Structure 1
Amino acid sequence: MGRLDGRTALVTGASRGIGRGIAIELAREGAKVAINFQNSQARAEEVAEEIRSFGGECMLDQADVAHPEAAREMVKRVVDTWGRIDVLVNNAGITRDKSIRKMTDQDWLEVIQTNLNAVFFCTTAAMQPMIEQKFGRIINISSMNGQTAAFGQANYGASKGGIIAFTKTAALELAKFNITVNAIAPGFTLTDMLSKVPEDVQNQIKTRIPMGRFGTPEEIARAVIFLAADGDYVTGTQINVNGGAYM
């Protein structure tokens, strides 16, 4: 018996990295999981194959959540397929790192649209069926760099800081419907994004992390599981999973 037996979940950006880890852990706890992806169908199918290998139930859903119609139609497909949506994990995110002096309007707009605006699109689509069923767990993946400065990430930091602010207001407005809304702020995590950083730079970063190592997607996923399964009286907050890099 899993802690999420009978629940349904949608994870955006679930074909790789943190999203992949979250989707798999939700399924291990018994949830039916919708795996959203934009371009990486082969990798999304690998996630689905792993979930099915241990008897989990899942569906693939290709959608660019940066577009409001696509995001809302995606949520509708999940509800139409399974009759409800219990857990929404807004995880999809991109980077376009440049100093502000070099950052273009397009660099700014693309990151804000995918990282922040998509959270609004998906949340507003999911909250109505959650209100009707009098249950919902909305979990937004922010970042340590939405809490502290990071050179070259004005757009990314603004989007992730905006997620935290949005989370608090959504939590306030939706609490009376038994819907909790929380954010998780990961630190440096072992994903494709981090693997592109040169090894000497990675070693320098580790010296600034009190625990002396990077996090894993599975460690981020465990925080999601807590909020989805056990955090019934936790809302409007952010959980930092960063090894002490930001306190």
Structure 2
Amino acid sequence: MSIHRTALVTGGMGCLGEAIAKALHDAGHRVLLTHSPGKENVESWLASRAQSGYHFTAYPADVTNYDSCAACAELIRANGQDVDILVNNAGITRDATLRKLSPVDWNAVLRSNLDSVFNMSKPFCEGMVERGWGRIVNISSVNGSKGAFGQSNYSAAKAGIYGFTKSLALEVARKGVTVNAVSPGYLDSPMVLKVPKEVLESQVITQIPVGRLGQAWEIAALVAFICSEAAGFMTGANVAMNGGQHMY
């Protein structure tokens, strides 16, 4: 029998974030999302998803700022909700070779993709430990494992998630809380589709043994399993789902 819990997905209005939110909703959980402060059209976005049967609650949070994340956590608790499942999905890219990479873009990616995992996990992890149950899933990337040309900032941040995941998993394993990472490969998403079509077809898809881009719902299904009761013996893992592009 499944147990319905409260889940929070950062960056939940993006392509992968929305797919994860829907998968958790389908599993019967109450789903909360975060979005950047000042983001436009949040209410209309939520209303359109509600028309399809997906009822989400959204909270503003600057995931690069610890105080903003702590305030978000306090607001959620003030609304009578305890977060049992946290999916750290928010992230950005600012690609450039190291020769052209500015300190501003280095810091922006590290703060959004790595600092955010600490900023969101710390305010919620203690409550999970106190209640004796929790799931934290950190979304990394195939490029955190294998590297990528022009992505020293992104790859460094995504690789850093592995160390954080394993260390926190050790700290809370006996408290009923699991901490895992998921490393998607290249997905059929707006971020990937910004790559010129000829480059995508000749340099990306040709490197994927299954011969196609991944779908966000496929990653979301994996995340939903990791967040389930059935995955209680799984912690400190990094699960790759990249079509065979990088095997390790």
TM-score range, shorter chain: over 0.9
The aligned counterpart of 2:231 is 231
- CA distances 1:130-188 after superposition (whole Å, capped 9, x unpaired): 11111110000000000012000000000000001100000000111100000000000
Instruction: Identify the residue that residue 73 of structure 1 maps to in structure 2.
Output: 71
Q: Structure 2 counterpart of 1:171, which letter?
A: A
Are 1:35 and 1:44, in contact at CA under 8 Å, matched by a contact in 2? Answer: no
CA deviations over 1:27-82 (Å, ceiling 9, x no partner): 1111111111115442674256325632x442111111101111121122223324
Q: Which residue of 2 aligns with 1:20?
A: 18
Distance 1:43 1:188, change over 3 A: farther
- Matched residue SS, 1:147: helix
Q: Partner of 1:192 in structure 2?
A: 190
**Structure 2 residues not aligned, in runs of 5+:** none
Query: How many residue pairs end up in the alignment?
Result: 244
Task: Name stretches of at least 5 consecutive residues in structure 1 with no aligned partner.
Answer: none
**CA contact under 8 A between 2:46 and 2:55: conserved in structure 1?**
no
The percent of aligned pairs where both chains have the same amino acid is 39
Alignment of 1:144-155 (within 5 A): 144-155=142-153
Match of 2:89 in 1: 91
Instruction: Please provide the CA RMSD for this pair.
Output: 1.6
Q: Which of 159, 162, 165 is equivalent to 2:163?
A: 165
1:186, 1:52 → 2: CA distance? 29
Name 2:49's counterpart in structure 1. Answer: 50
C-alpha contact 2:46 2:56 (8 A) present in aligned 1: no
Q: Distance in 2 between matches of 1:126 and 1:21?
A: 22
Runs of 4+ off more than 4 Å: none
Contact 2:143 2:155 in 1 (8 A): yes
Report the CA distance shift for 1:157/1:48 in structure 2 as closer, same or farther (over 3 A). Answer: farther
Distance 1:52 1:87 in 2: 25
Question: Are the structure 2 counterparts of residues 235 and 162 from structure 1 closer, same or farther at C-alpha, using a change threshold of 3 Å?
Answer: same
Structure 1, residues 91-131: CA drift from partner, whole Å, max 9, x if none? 00001100001111111111101100010011111111111
Residue number in structure 2 paired with 1:208: 207
Instruction: State the alpha-carbon separation in 1 of the partners of residues 246 and 44 from structure 2.
Output: 35
Q: For the residues of structure 2 that align with 1:88 and 1:44, how far apart are their CA atoms? A: 22
Q: Report what 2:117 is aligned to.
A: 119
Pair 111,212 (structure 1): closer, same or farther in 2 beyond 3 Å: same
CA distance in 2 between counterparts of 1:19 and 1:152 reads 24
